[in-house]
Structure 1
Amino acid sequence: MFLITENGRKVAISHARRDALLRDVRAHLDTMTGFRLATVNLDHLVQIASNNVFADAYAQHDIVVADGRPIRWMSQLAGQPVEVITGSDLIVPLSRQAAQAGRSIAMIGSSDAALSGAEAHLRAHVPDLTVAYRHAPAMGFDVDSDAAGDILRDLEASGAGLCFLAFGAPKQERLAARAALLAPSVGMVSIGAGLDFLAGHQTRAPRILRILALEWLWRAATSPARMVPRYAKCFAILPGLMWRAWRAR
């Protein structure tokens, strides 16, 4: 299905179900072909409508899934229901897919401590997993810089089949798009704070709040200065998105 932003840009959700997503990722791993995976949410739609660079990077993604209940509600209004698939919930199953395919993984972003903790968590849950490359860039990392290009070339040389990007939007999606040229054999998966959750450096909302679609409230309460303005922008565009989804039906 297509999500239509305020300025008319279209974002296509490529995989409605998790099982189909996992099958396609496994096919990429088996054939050693790279891909770019993004998990679209309301904040991304806000940014896509106002940031052409981000919008162009998003358009280069091969796989886009729905992250958040509002996206699912829109899909239901459009008569094309999709499953909610968050980046954080994909890390372990995708790592398991890589191990089963005999491919290693990589992690870029966050901090050295978080990457180390996330690796320990993954090794405990996926014993056969190999981590071929880890890199936590310094603060102010520029995805368009020569240093970013060097990182992507090192990633390609590492032989990793899958790379988790933990920068947050739009930086991680823009780096994933650049990897199409510099790390073409690697599947790039943007997962935001997912590695920090695995490492225990950030606390994810309790499961009951996620079930009730109240994870946004938890995040707003734990980080109000950063999250309240973001959610205000998201709520402002939601009625228009829902209207366009209903009309698309």
Structure 2
Amino acid sequence: MVDTQLSQAPSAGETPESNNLTVDGVTINVSSLSEAVTSIVDAAEQGENFSVCTLNLDHVVQLQQKPDFRAAYRRARFVTADGFPIVVLSRLLGVPISRTTGADLVEPLCAAAGEKGLPIFLFGSDQSTLEKSAAELKRRYPGLEVAGVFAPGRNFSAYSEEADEAIARIRASGAKLCFLALGAPKQEVFASRCLDELNGTGFLCIGASLDFIAGTQVRAPMFAQKAGLEWAWRMINNPGRLAPRYARCAAAVPRLLAGTLPQILTARTRFFTTSRTRKAA
């Protein structure tokens, strides 16, 4: 059973009084894109180590199956809601959360990094995509410094000689923000390892975001994003790879709802009780 609940434990970027949505032991502690950008830039300017994860249904499924992925998620300093069903659950619980994906984060963070002199590092995908992404981001955001790029092999592992080399390259670059475009769970597990071996770098798990910037993939139109149908767009364009994944995601929805129902009832009861008390006063 997927455990979905409200958490009142304070984390970075929130006050002790705020309520956060917790899904399967992972707390979403960033409620919007603007909050995410502000919190991440502040942490980078302070020279802190941190990682950023974006929770969606595919991740919920993998969290059940992969202990190293779960451990990496629990070490993340900032967690946003990527999946639209998770946003819907938050609304049912009365927790205001906006969908914020890795692709949403890249450009505003690069704009801020250019303004504030925070060097970035691009990691993942392939060399051609990285070079195109770096050139395009520097064109869009004057002053942005791309301190380095690294395209790992297809069988990249977070604990390998290739990962050792990558960590050394990131360290030598002096990057304050590192965008990891490896896909889950590789990017999250690698980010977790980097937290132990690097100082002063934030790691953002961004999936296919660099492919969108380079133009090697096309992101769903804005109307599909806003309607929560980005998954459908991606599946239509790559059914062989994504149809089985989204079938597993769909199977997780009933478990999410079952785990959430007690909290929904509690939240609604609290709301109506508070409303009656205010009216009586």
Q: Give the structure-2-normalised TM-score.
A: 0.84
The separation in 1 between residues aligned to 2:66 and 2:42, in whole angstroms, is 32
Match of 1:110 in 2: 125
**Residue-by-residue CA offset, 1:27-52 (whole Å, 9 max, x unaligned):** 11221112100111000000001111
Say what the alpha-carbon RMSD is for the aligned residues: 1.2
Does the CA-based 8 Å contact 2:33-2:105 persist in structure 1? no
SS of the residue aligned with 1:36?
A: strand
| Structure 1 residue 230, shift from structure 2 partner | 0.5
Structure 1 stretches of 4+ moved >3 Å: 2-5
Matched, 1:64 2:82: no
Structure 1 pair 66–4 and aligned structure 2 pair: CA distance change class (3 A): closer
Equivalent residue in structure 2 for 1:4, among 3, 10, 23 = 23
The separation in 2 between residues aligned to 1:114 and 1:197, in whole angstroms, is 9
- Taking only the aligned residue pairs, the percentage that are identical comes to 37
Does the CA-based 8 Å contact 2:114-2:145 persist in structure 1? yes
Equivalent residue in structure 2 for 1:186, among 181, 187, 201 = 201
Does the CA-based 8 Å contact 1:77-1:246 persist in structure 2? no
Match of 2:50 in 1: 35
Equivalent residue in structure 1 for 2:38, among 7, 10, 23 = 23
The separation in 1 between residues aligned to 2:88 and 2:241, in whole angstroms, is 25
**Residue-by-residue CA offset, 1:34-92 (whole Å, 9 max, x unaligned):** 21001110000000011111111111111000002111001112221201111011111
Matched, 1:197 2:216: no
Match of 2:159 in 1: 144
Match of 2:92 in 1: 77
Determine which structure has greater relative contact order: mean sequence separation of CA pairs < 8 Å that are 6+ residues apart, divided by chain length: 1
Structure 1 pair 32–4 and aligned structure 2 pair: CA distance change class (3 A): closer
Matched, 1:217 2:236: no
Greater shift, 189-198 or 235-244, is seen at: 235-244
The separation in 2 between residues aligned to 1:208 and 1:103, in whole angstroms, is 33
Match of 2:144 in 1: 129
SS of the residue aligned with 1:139?
A: coil
Match of 1:208 in 2: 223
Match for 1:49: what amino acid?
Q
Structure 1 pair 58–111 and aligned structure 2 pair: CA distance change class (3 A): same
The alignment of Structure 1 onto Structure 2 pairs a total of residues equal to: 245
Q: Which runs of 5+ in 1 are unaligned?
A: none
The separation in 2 between residues aligned to 1:246 and 1:156, in whole angstroms, is 46
| Structure 1 residue 197, shift from structure 2 partner | 0.6
Does the CA-based 8 Å contact 1:149-1:182 persist in structure 2? no
Q: Give the structure-1-normalised TM-score.
A: 0.94
The separation in 1 between residues aligned to 2:35 and 2:23, in whole angstroms, is 23
Does the CA-based 8 Å contact 2:37-2:105 persist in structure 1? no
SS of the residue aligned with 1:65?
A: strand
Which structure is larger by alpha-carbon Rg, 1 or 2? Answer: 2
The separation in 2 between residues aligned to 1:169 and 1:139, in whole angstroms, is 13
Does the CA-based 8 Å contact 1:114-1:201 persist in structure 2? yes
Q: Which runs of 5+ in 2 are unaligned?
A: 1-19, 268-281
